[in-house]
């Protein structure tokens, strides 16, 4: 392993953000989602992220649970779904998102090699605790770091500062992993070595920095040099 500290974004990187809508769509009480869930899930995620950026620029911070609800409300209205029960079910499932299948073994491999591992996320502490415990990852992580400690969303430098403060390490000691191209770019600009998990095969964002590695999934993280 190249680095001593491996830091992961949570939503979309370790946890499948589409799993909430996908699971709800298979339940009889939420049949209205059956044909619409992919669109709803995509809009939910898009608005969730847009709201973090706009709030950061406007200096109008709120916690990630609020923007998660706001993003869902926009997505449901766009899909013309008005069921309060469906909204509640989607939000409940978001607190127990499924981890991607390679996550557990990948973290075990890092820990066996002596690395320290952490999450660094926009998520609020209670959201992250719920997701980590639901996925059975609590013993595989040395820290779960939330932007709530600094009151601004990624990609602000104050967020990435949390890693050095927690592990007493320099940026060059860190491999930062995200499924968000803009997050990987922000972390690269900060000074971390970065890996972008590009599951969708998207183009590289035209930003001020680019990721050092581009991967299809998390399987080869322990092999990066």
Q: Where does residue 101 fall: left (phi above 0), alpha (psi -120 to 50 degrees), or beta otherwise?
A: alpha
pLDDT at 1: 59
Q: What is the CATH number of domain 5-15+97-223?
A: 3.40.50.1000
pTM over 0.85: yes
Strands (E), the chain: 5-8, 116-121, 143-146, 174-178, 193-197, 213-215
pLDDT at 2: 79
Beta-carbon contacts of 95 under 8 Å, excluding residues fewer than 6 positions away, are 127, 130, 131, 134
- Of the options 1.10.150.240, 1.20.1530.20, 3.30.420.280, 3.30.920.30, the CATH number for the domain spanning 19-94: 1.10.150.240
| Ranges of each domain in the chain | 5-15+97-223, 19-94
Rounded to the nearest 10 degrees, the angle between the axes of helix 64-78 and helix 125-134 is: 80
pLDDT at 74: 98
- Taking only the tens of pLDDT, the chain with its 225 residues reads 579 999 999 999 999 999 999 999 999 999 999 999 999 999 999 999 999 999 999 999 999 999 999 999 999 999 999 999 999 999 999 999 999 999 999 999 999 999 999 999 999 999 999 999 999 999 999 999 999 999 999 999 999 999 999 999 999 999 999 999 999 999 999 999 999 999 999 999 999 999 999 999 999 999 997
Mark whether 70 is an active-site residue: no
pLDDT at 195: 98
Name the catalytic one among 9, 29, 129, 183: 9
């Amino acid at each position: 392993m190249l680095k001593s500290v491996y830091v992961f974004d949570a939503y979309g990187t370790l946890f499948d953000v589409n799993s909430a809508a996908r699971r709800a769509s298979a339940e009889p009480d939420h049949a209205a989602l059956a044909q619409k869930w992919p669109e709803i899930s995509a809009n939910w995620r898009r608005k969730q992220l847009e709201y973090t950026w706009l709030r950061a620029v406007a200096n109008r911070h709120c916690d990630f649970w609020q923007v998660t609800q706001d993003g869902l409300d926009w997505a449901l209205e766009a899909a013309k779904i008005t069921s309060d029960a469906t909204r509640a079910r989607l939000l409940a499932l978001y607190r127990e998102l499924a981890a991607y299948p390679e996550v557990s073994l990948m973290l075990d491999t890092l820990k066996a090699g002596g690395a320290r591992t952490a999450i660094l996320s926009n998520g609020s502490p209670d959201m992250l605790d719920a997701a980590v415990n639901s996925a059975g990852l609590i013993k595989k992580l040395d820290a779960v770091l939330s932007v709530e400690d600094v009151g601004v969303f990624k990609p602000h430098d104050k967020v990435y500062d949390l890693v050095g403060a927690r592990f007493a390490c320099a940026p060059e000691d860190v491999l930062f992993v995200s499924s968000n191209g803009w997050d990987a770019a922000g972390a690269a600009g900060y000074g971390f070595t970065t890996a972008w998990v590009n599951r969708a095969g998207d183009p590289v964002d035209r930003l001020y920095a680019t990721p050092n590695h581009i991967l299809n999934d998390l399987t080869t993280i322990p092999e990066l040099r």
